[in-house]
Structure 1
Amino acid sequence: MRAPLLGVALCLALAQTPAEAAGKQVRLAYVEWADAVVATNILKLALEEKGYEVKAIPLAAAAMWQAVATGDADASVAAWLPVTQGAYYEKLKNRLELIGPNVTGAKIGWAVPATSPLNSIEDLKTKAAEVDGKVIGIDPGAGVMKTSEAAIKAYGLPVKLLDGSDATMTSALKDAIRRKQDVVVTAWTPHWMFARYQLKYLADPKQVFGGEESVNTLARKGLKEDMPEVYGILQKFKLGIKDEEAVMAENEEKGAKPAETAAKWIAANRATVDGWLK
């Protein structure tokens, strides 16, 4: 009986869902950063309006790019370029399609409370003690962390970069502001912390963190041919920084659910979403 059982198991493993069989399932890969959560949930609901079954797949940044390159994911709207995730793009650009920016005016760097006497990264050469010689970071594989390590070397700073997560970084920021203490955190725009707190970026005269960033849409090879309607929606999908930061801030409220805040944004921006879906 073993052979028939194996045959049944194999059939089950290869069986497609009705949505997959009809070419109506879309797999969106994303990094669990606040901005990517917002964008992915909004796009997910928009695609579902057109009858697609959408699966949102949270991954580390490297795995997100790899999933699109291998076709394990159809698309992603969470690709930061040219600096933050530029290394992934250079490695995989021939195996996926870069559709283009869905958010412009993005930025990465180090941020401090607006009241901080620190104004430039160079100030930390002599004032590192004011922040306990620390820069509070996020997950070690993130692009902003790699660039932060480069900044420490480029400026010759007597500081240590602490890794953690988006949550631990923002918790440290919140605590420092509550205690009216100074702190330096790895930062990027869009991020909800800029909607909630009065912050400023430290000047980067050496331009280690680069200039303006954009958040981009990626697609697997062949998506344009396989799912032209989805591809067309991805081409039109655009968000503003202020919109994203407002929804991100809502998601930080107790009991908030990203799917619900995304639905609320869609309801308030119906004309924009209808433009994507035409």
Structure 2
Amino acid sequence: MLFTELPFEDRVRTIHDLGFAVEIWGWTAKDVDALKATGAHFTSMTGYVRGDLTTPDGAAELLRTARQSIEAAARLGCSSLNVHGTGLDDKGLPVRPVEVVTGPMWLAAADTLGRLGDLGRSEGVVFTLENLNTGLDHPGTPFARAAETLALVRAVDSPGLRMNLDLYHAQIDEGNLIDLLRRSIDHVGEIQVADVPGRCEPGTGEIHYPAIATALRELGYSSVVALEAWASADSHVALERFRTAFSS
């Protein structure tokens, strides 16, 4: 999402040269060997290609492509693989939009995620279930709210499955972010950030990220904080604002 004027491998190399780790979304349209050659440290990537959590065929496809994603992740040295409540298209919209999530869907999702957690544990990786907002960017996505991803991760209770707590999405649909961190931190494998509105870097919107950083220190959080945001103007400035928000 940064340095978008550059070819993809050059974006990765630039971010690495500035002292940051790198995350990518889907890997199938990328040259994995070229990404590895950049020397960057990859902390997360999308952990499936197709599928969903609730239908038999969708769950089978999600697990099948998760195994493919593990192979790609191993080539990059990446041990965190991100998943969602359902597959998303190239516009971030659910391929199987859902108006009402039923009880049987909850049970099916927990079963699928349990199998995914078992796969992660056996292969030495962690799958992270990301919350998404439905009010703006991802309408129709099931299990999108952070409260829902937390409930599923708690129900599965596997070291191979954690939350990817995206605070941008949570602010739009839920708010009360510091309380959300306190309630969920024991189940969080990664935190993603961007400001609201606009999905740009910290300091451009309404979220007071220095307070978020203080809360994370008080909670003893020591895993990844990732900037999943557009640059409001210059990508170098965006990264420095991100660094400042979580270093002061």
Give TM class, smaller chain. Answer: 0.3 to 0.5
Rg larger for: 1
Q: Could you tell me the TM-score, scaled by structure 2's length? A: 0.35
Higher RCO (C-alpha under 8 Å, 6+ residues apart): 1
Task: Give the helix-richer structure, 1 or 2.
Answer: 1
